[in-house]
């Protein structure tokens, strides 16, 4: 078993080997100490519906985590039930709907969502029965206040909510955030804040003070629960006092939420309770000063990467002061014209350099979004920057015509050990350039286990798994 797990680990490009610069995802290298308690029988071996007098310790931790999250966000109440950010969005929007209904405003069913929003926002709004109206962004990537004002006014009687991400998915602190919240409130709507980017705020700014009425946070982003591969996550929502009566609850466990709440959004009363000890430990171990320093380091790291890479890849959006928040979008679109190279080629080539790709084509198609997080030391940031600059040098060689557009280290990336060791090597660049483009890789090479796959092949070649009718006839005969 041990060797099997090690073999799987060796094939994986995980945080225990290198940074994972996935923008918006906040991939932190968390401390082993934060992980230990999830294996302790007291946390691991209890049933979600165990009688509460057998779960007093668990409940104490849950209540304490709620208290700490309220302190960090400034909200009056928190529900830990949602299992992911998207589920938090759904729960928060249902709370808003129920609040409107309680005020005799059942007809409020329009949700404004900026064009830059994460795809889960419109999906959750639709699931919550709201009609989505898209608000445009201006040239600087910020919400277009004039368009917001016009659409809020046009839907004045039906406006339920605005969903806004702060700092924005463009990686900037949107200077108009208070005005944005005011415009929505002035037209009778509630402000749903997408708190996936809370890593840029913790300890410095309580989102409730900006004007948000409800916000989800992602414990698996900001608060250290390891994620990737689909879970487990926790997407708690914090709400202002007027929405507290409409948090999720549970029919079998009255202690899990307010009696007049929206009902359960997850099967278990406290959702993914089994991983809450990770976030509790993270917050407790960091302390208030540590959390503030994490925010500072996350902002500093993103701005360092943006500043160093800007001469090589334009940084698409910055705030008025020329700075980014906790992540930055590198505009790789112009390279398509000059070299035929796309963001995907750069993402694949980064594997040869021992890095996981940044986020591709979100929120802007054809770009790369880098979020280093506070957990990366300067040496690792420099290693990433060096790789990105070296890749830009390779692109320059394609532009100069040294390598054909169709056969170069980027287009053929990633290079597996099989490719490098093959008898035949017909490419116009050496095996060394393919596998060891930087000398430092010779002492710490990650070998991608598979070469480039055709990403959309499966989508375009649907495989029917039901047996053809003839096969049943054959069996009968
Ligand atoms: C991650 C993310 C979400 C969704 O959170 P999940 O936990 O993946 O459901 C929503 N909005 C933004 C901006 C995100 O980065």
Cβ–Cβ < 8 Å for 352, 14: no
Of 194, 221, 272, the residue with max ligand 1 atoms within 8 A of its CB, to mutate for a pocket test, comes to 194
Same-domain status, 335 and 223: no
Predicted local distance difference test score (pLDDT) of residue 230 = 66
Same-domain status, 374 and 228: no
Same-domain status, 426 and 355: yes
With a 6 Å cutoff on the Cβ, whether 218 touches ligand 1 is yes
- The answer to the question of residue 441 being in a domain is yes
With a 6 Å cutoff on the Cβ, whether 222 touches ligand 1 is no
- The answer to the question of residue 25 being in a domain is no
- The answer to the question of residue 471 being in a domain is no
Predicted local distance difference test score (pLDDT) of residue 465 = 81
CATH number at residue 265: 3.40.640.10
360 CA to centre of ligand 1 in angstroms: 15
Predicted local distance difference test score (pLDDT) of residue 474 = 61
Same-domain status, 279 and 331: no
Of 21, 25, 84, 86, the residue with max ligand 1 atoms within 8 A of its CB, to mutate for a pocket test, comes to 86
Same-domain status, 235 and 339: no
Mean pLDDT by 10 residues, the chain (477 residues): 95 93 94 94 94 95 98 98 97 98 98 95 97 95 96 98 97 96 98 98 97 98 88 93 98 97 97 97 97 98 98 96 97 98 98 97 96 97 98 98 98 98 97 97 94 89 80 63
Predicted local distance difference test score (pLDDT) of residue 232 = 85
Same-domain status, 135 and 49: yes
Q: What SS3 state is found at 461?
A: coil
Angle between helices 120-127 and 85-102 (to 10 degrees): 40
Domain count, the chain: 2
With a 6 Å cutoff on the Cβ, whether 198 touches ligand 1 is no
With a 6 Å cutoff on the Cβ, whether 272 touches ligand 1 is no
Length of the chain as a residue count: 477
CATH number at residue 426: 3.90.1150
- The answer to the question of residue 364 being in a domain is yes
- The answer to the question of residue 336 being in a domain is yes
Cβ–Cβ < 8 Å for 326, 302: yes
Domain that holds residue 416: 327-460
Predicted local distance difference test score (pLDDT) of residue 59 = 96
With a 6 Å cutoff on the Cβ, whether 233 touches ligand 1 is yes
- The answer to the question of residue 3 being in a domain is no
- Contacts of residue 344, defined as CB under 8 A and 6 or more positions apart, other chains included, come to 360, 455
Same-domain status, 381 and 454: yes
Same-domain status, 254 and 334: no
Ligand 1 atom nearest residue 169's Cα = 13
**Which residue, chain included where needed, has tokens 């090479």?**
445
Predicted local distance difference test score (pLDDT) of residue 462 = 85
- The answer to the question of residue 415 being in a domain is yes
């Amino acid at each position: 078993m041990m060797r099997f797990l090690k073999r799987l680990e060796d094939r994986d490009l995980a945080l225990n080997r290198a940074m994972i610069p996935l923008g918006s995802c906040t991939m932190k290298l968390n401390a082993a100490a934060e992980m230990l308690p999830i294996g302790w029988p007291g946390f691991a071996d209890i049933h979600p519906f165990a009688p509460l007098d057998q779960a007093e310790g668990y409940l104490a931790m849950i209540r304490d985590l709620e208290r700490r999250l309220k302190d960090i966000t400034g909200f009056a109440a928190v529900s830990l039930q949602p299992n992911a950010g998207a589920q938090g969005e759904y729960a928060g929007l249902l709370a808003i709907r129920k609040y409107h209904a309680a005020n005799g405003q059942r007809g409020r069913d329009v949700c404004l969502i900026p064009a830059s929003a994460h795809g889960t926002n419109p999906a959750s709004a639709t699931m919550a029965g709201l009609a989505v109206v898209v608000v445009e962004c201006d040239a600087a990537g910020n919400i277009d206040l004039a368009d917001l004002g016009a659409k809020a006014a046009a839907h004045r009687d039906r406006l339920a909510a605005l969903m806004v991400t702060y700092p924005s998915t463009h990686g900037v602190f949107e200077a108009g955030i208070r005005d944005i919240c005011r415009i929505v409130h002035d037209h009778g709507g509630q402000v749903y804040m997408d708190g996936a980017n809370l890593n840029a705020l913790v300890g410095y700014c309580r989102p409730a003070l900006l004007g948000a009425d409800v916000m989800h946070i992602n414990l698996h982003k900001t608060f250290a629960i390891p994620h990737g591969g689909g879970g487990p996550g926790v997407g708690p929502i914090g709400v202002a006092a007027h929405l507290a009566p409409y948090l999720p609850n549970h029919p079998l466990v009255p202690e899990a939420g307010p009696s007049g709440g929206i009902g359960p959004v997850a099967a278990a009363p406290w959702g993914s309770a089994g991983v809450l000890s990770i976030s509790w430990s993270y917050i407790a171990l960091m302390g208030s000063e540590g959390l503030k320093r994490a925010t500072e380091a996350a902002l500093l790291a993103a701005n360092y990467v943006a500043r160093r890479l800007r001469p090589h890849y334009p940084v698409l959006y910055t705030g008025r002061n020329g700075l980014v928040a906790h992540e930055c979008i590198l505009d790789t679109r112009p390279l398509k014209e000059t070299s035929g190279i796309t963001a995907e080629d750069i993402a694949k080539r980064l594997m040869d350099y021992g890095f996981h790709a940044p986020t591709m084509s979100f929120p802007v198609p054809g770009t790369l979004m880098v979020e280093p997080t506070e957990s990366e030391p300067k040496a690792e940031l420099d290693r990433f920057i060096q790789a990105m600059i070296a890749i830009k040098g390779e692109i320059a060689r394609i532009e100069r015509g040294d390598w054909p557009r169709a056969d170069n280290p980027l287009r053929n990336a990633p290079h597996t050990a099989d490719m490098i060791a093959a008898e035949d090597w017909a490419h116009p660049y050496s095996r060394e350039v393919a596998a060891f483009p930087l000398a430092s890789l010779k002492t710490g090479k990650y070998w991608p286990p598979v070469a480039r796959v055709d990403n959309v092949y499966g989508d375009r070649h649907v495989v029917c798994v039901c047996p053809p009718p003839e096969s049943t006839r054959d069996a009968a005969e």
